[in-house]
Amino acid sequence: MSVKIITAAIFSFALLTLSSGAQAFMTYEFLTDSPQAYMKDADYKLLSQTLDDLLDNGKDGAIKSWKNPATHNAGSLKVLLSYHDGNLNCRRVGFLLKSANKLKTQSTFNLCKIDNQWTIKDGPAKSFTDEDWKLFNSAAQEALSTQKDGSIKNWKNEKTGNSGAFKLISTPSVEGRQCRVVNISIATSKPETAESTMTLCKEKDGAWSNAAESADTTATRK
């Protein structure tokens, strides 16, 4: 399983791999380019409106939900905490997205208000080396292919201090494919952390891909 497969699978984990300053400081409008196969423009508009309102007006612990009656896609957002990064006002937010066919993705990340816009802060993977990603991929393959539900596969690069873990949550069957629900977390030596929970399914070529994205690709090929 390659980093490309994982980062293309779901917007929440793509966030973890942002590497350049330009990417790191884009606003959450980037969500319209996420690979959430069943999300439409109208869904992202509702998501953005809900996020704006929550970040500007919600107290820590506040939860706001949204749902598109036309597509039946929905989600909820929760402010986990507020903090300052230098002179910036920042908030840590939990995201839950639910597609009409009951697939779910969860993610937690930080946003800071810059030039009156809520902006995603650079993720910890910006400092990952090629060796870090090699260890990441090796651990991912072992976790998804051999580990039992409830087990945790850890990895760490002793040279850089960067590390991560794969926690296997369940093994569902999605449209006849073998799938794993897995929580993926990464951390740097500073430390900076990020995590995401997703459903990955094994394809005929042995690669693991996001359940929603791979299902949409299969449907397109027919």
The reported pLDDT for the residue numbered 89 is: 86
Residue 178 confidence (pLDDT) above 60? yes
Averaged pLDDT for residues 202-206: 78
pLDDT top residue among 108 and 180: 180
Residue 58 confidence (pLDDT) above 80? yes
**Per-residue pLDDT tens over the stretch 38-51:** 778 888 888 888 99
**Per-residue pLDDT tens over the stretch 190-200:** 877 877 777 88
Averaged pLDDT for residues 146-163: 95
**Per-residue pLDDT tens over the stretch 112-138:** 888 888 887 666 766 778 898 889 888
- Are the beta carbons of 135 and 149 closer than 8 angstroms? no
Kindly state the percentage of the chain with pLDDT values over 90.
Answer: 23
Averaged pLDDT for residues 53-74: 93
Mean confidence (pLDDT) of the chain: 75
pLDDT top residue among 96 and 1: 96
The reported pLDDT for the residue numbered 103 is: 75
Averaged pLDDT for residues 172-177: 84
At 201, the pLDDT band (50, 70, 90 cuts) reads confident
